[in-house]
C-alpha cells in the first residue's frame, strides 16, 4: 500500500507564497481576488503581457485546427515562424524544441558535429539550463555539484576578461557559449570588446538569448547592440508569450552540419506554440522596441534612486541591481505589497516586466519598491 505524501510535487522549488488564478496585461489576480502588478513576467517570458490578444487569437485559431502531427510531417506555423526568425536574424535555419535547456542541448550537439571538436568554453556565473549538457556549461557550483561528473571538455572563463577567455580557448574548442547579459547569474552584461574577442576565436559562437531575446533588451536580439553576429542563437522564454517553445537558430554561413536523424523532438515545433510565437514576433515591432528602451530608461533611473540599492545594470527591460539586504527579503516584501519582482542571486534584485509596460505602471512599481527597499 502506498502512503500519500503531503506534497504531490517533487520539491525542487521553494514553497509557493501565492497561487495565481488570472492574468490580464500587467496584472495578476490571486486565489483571494487580490491584484498584483507583474514585474517578473513569469521570469522574462510573458513579454506582451498576460492574455495579449494577438498570440491568444493565434493559439485559439490553431487549437481549433490542428494540435500535433509530429515532425514526420510539416505544419504551417513552424515554417512560418522559422521564416520570421530567419528574417529577423538575417538568414538562418531554425530547430524548434520545447524549452531553453533543450535549445542549448541542440547547440552543443550542433557545434560538436559541425566542428568535430568536443570542447566548450562558457563563463563563470553563467546559466544555460538544468539538463546535463546545459548544466555542464553552467558556471555555478551550487547548481552543478550534486550532479557531477558532468560533461568533460568544458572550460570556464571570467566574464569580460579577454585574457581569461583566450586562456580557456584551446585546439579542442568547438563552441563558445555566452549570454549577452547573464540573467540568472545576476544581470551582468558582457562588454562589446569581450564579445568581439569571442567572435575572433577559432570556434563557433553561440549566443544564449533565451532571456535577452525577443525584444527584452530593446532590440529583437541583444547582440544587435553589441557589434557581433553569432553562428548560433538560442531562444525560448519570451518567444511564445508563455506557451512552451525553444529554438536553435543556425546562421546560413554556419549551416549544413545536421542531417536527418541527427537530432529531433516529438513536441518540437508544436503548431499551437508556433502559431502564438508568430504573433509574438510580429508584435515585437519598432514601436514596441522603442517602448522597451523608453520604459527601461525610466525604470533604471528610478531604481538608481532607491535606498539600499546600488547602481542598476542591464539593458531595456532586463534590469538588476545589487541590494544591501538579501534580495529574497525585497522580493517577499514587494509581493506582500502587490508587486511581483525577481532576484538573481542572493543580493541582486531583478526586474523583467512585460515589454508593453507603460509609464504609470513603472512609476507605480517604483513607489512600491521605494517602500520595500527603505
Q: Which residues bind ligand PLP (CB under 6 A)?
A: 99-101, 104, 127-129, 179, 183-184, 208, 210-211, 236
> E strand or H helix at 260, and its extent?
none
Which CB, 210 or 362, lies closer to ligand PLP? Answer: 210
Residue nearest to ligand PLP (CB): 100
Minimum distance, C-beta of residue 351 to ligand PLP, in the bound complex (Å): 15
HSE (CB half, 13 Å, CA atoms) of 190? Answer: 36
Active site residue 117: no
- Can you say whether residue 234 is alpha, beta or left, with left for phi > 0 and alpha for psi between -120 and 50 degrees? beta
Minimum distance, C-beta of residue 273 to ligand PLP, in the bound complex (Å): 13
Q: How far apart are CA 282 and CA 272, in angstroms?
A: 16
Tell me if residue 33 falls in helix, strand or coil.
coil
* Closest by Cα among 312, 273, 285, 297 to 214: 285
- The residue assigned the cell 570542447 is 119
**DSSP bridge partners of 120:** 154, 175
- Can you say whether residue 233 is alpha, beta or left, with left for phi > 0 and alpha for psi between -120 and 50 degrees? beta
Q: Give 3-state DSSP helix, strand, coil % of the chain, rounded to 5.
A: 40, 20, 40
Which CB, 191 or 367, lies closer to ligand PLP? Answer: 191
Minimum distance, C-beta of residue 247 to ligand PLP, in the bound complex (Å): 11
Which CB, 179 or 322, lies closer to ligand PLP? Answer: 179
Which CB, 184 or 322, lies closer to ligand PLP? Answer: 184
Active site residue 237: yes
Minimum distance, C-beta of residue 362 to ligand PLP, in the bound complex (Å): 23
Contact 240, 77 (CB under 8 A): no
Which CB, 29 or 132, lies closer to ligand PLP? Answer: 132
Catalytic residue among 117, 237, 258, 322: 237
Judging by DSSP bridges, how do beta strands 35-38 and 348-351 pair with one another?
A: unpaired
Minimum distance, C-beta of residue 44 to ligand PLP, in the bound complex (Å): 7
310 Cβ neighbours under 8 A, 6+ residues apart: 321, 322, 323
Which CB, 179 or 361, lies closer to ligand PLP? Answer: 179
Minimum distance, C-beta of residue 185 to ligand PLP, in the bound complex (Å): 9
Active site residue 221: no
Catalytic residue among 127, 194, 221, 223: 127
Catalytic residue among 208, 220, 223, 231: 208
- The residue assigned the cell 542571486 is 345
Positions marked active-site: 127, 208, 237
Amino acid at each position: 500500500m502506498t502512503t500519500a505524501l503531503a506534497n504531490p510535487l517533487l520539491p525542487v522549488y521553494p514553497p509557493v507564497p501565492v497561487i495565481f488564478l488570472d492574468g490580464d496585461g500587467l496584472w495578476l489576480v490571486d486565489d483571494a481576488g487580490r491584484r498584483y502588478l507583474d514585474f517578473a513576467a513569469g521570469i522574462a517570458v510573458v513579454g506582451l503581457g498576460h492574455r495579449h490578444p494577438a498570440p491568444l487569437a493565434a493559439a485559439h485559431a490553431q487549437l481549433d485546427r490542428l494540435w500535433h502531427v509530429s515532425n514526420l510531417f510539416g505544419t504551417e506555423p513552424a515554417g512560418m515562424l522559422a521564416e520570421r526568425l530567419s528574417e529577423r536574424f538575417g538568414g538562418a535555419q531554425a530547430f524548434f524544441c520545447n524549452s531553453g535547456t533543450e535549445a542549448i542541448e541542440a547547440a552543443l550537439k550542433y557545434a560538436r558535429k559541425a566542428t568535430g571538436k568536443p570542447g566548450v568554453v562558457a563563463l563563470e556565473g553563467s546559466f544555460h539550463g538544468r539538463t546535463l549538457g546545459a548544466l555542464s556549461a553552467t558556471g555555478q557550483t551550487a547548481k552543478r555539484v550534486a550532479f557531477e561528473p558532468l560533461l568533460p571538455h568544458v572550460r570556464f572563463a571570467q566574464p569580460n576578461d579577454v585574457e581569461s577567455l583566450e586562456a580557456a580557448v584551446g585546439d579542442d574548442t568547438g563552441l563558445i557559449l555566452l549570454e549577452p547579459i547573464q540573467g540568472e547569474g545576476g544581470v551582468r552584461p558582457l562588454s562589446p570588446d569581450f564579445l568581439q574577442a569571442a567572435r575572433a576565436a577559432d570556434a563557433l559562437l553561440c549566443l544564449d538569448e533565451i532571456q535577452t531575446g525577443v525584444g527584452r533588451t530593446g532590440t529583437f536580439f541583444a547582440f544587435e547592440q553589441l557589434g557581433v553576429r553569432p553562428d548560433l542563437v538560442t531562444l525560448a522564454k519570451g518567444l511564445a508569450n508563455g506557451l512552451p517553445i525553444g529554438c536553435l537558430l543556425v546562421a546560413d554561413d554556419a549551416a549544413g552540419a545536421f542531417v536527418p536523424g541527427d537530432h529531433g523532438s516529438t513536441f518540437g515545433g508544436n503548431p499551437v506554440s508556433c502559431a502564438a510565437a508568430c504573433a509574438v514576433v510580429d508584435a515585437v515591432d519598432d514601436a514596441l522596441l522603442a517602448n522597451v528602451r523608453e520604459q527601461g530608461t525610466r525604470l533604471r533611473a528610478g531604481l538608481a534612486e532607491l535606498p539600499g540599492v546600488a547602481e542598476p545594470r542591464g539593458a531595456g527591460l532586463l534590469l538588476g541591481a545589487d541590494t544591501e539586504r538579501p534580495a529574497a527579503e525585497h522580493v517577499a516584501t514587494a509581493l506582500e505589497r502587490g508587486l511581483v519582482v525577481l532576484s538573481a542571486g542572493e543580493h541582486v534584485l531583478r526586474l523583467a516586466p512585460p515589454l508593453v509596460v507603460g509609464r504609470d505602471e513603472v512609476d507605480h512599481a517604483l513607489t512600491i519598491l521605494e517602500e520595500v527597499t527603505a
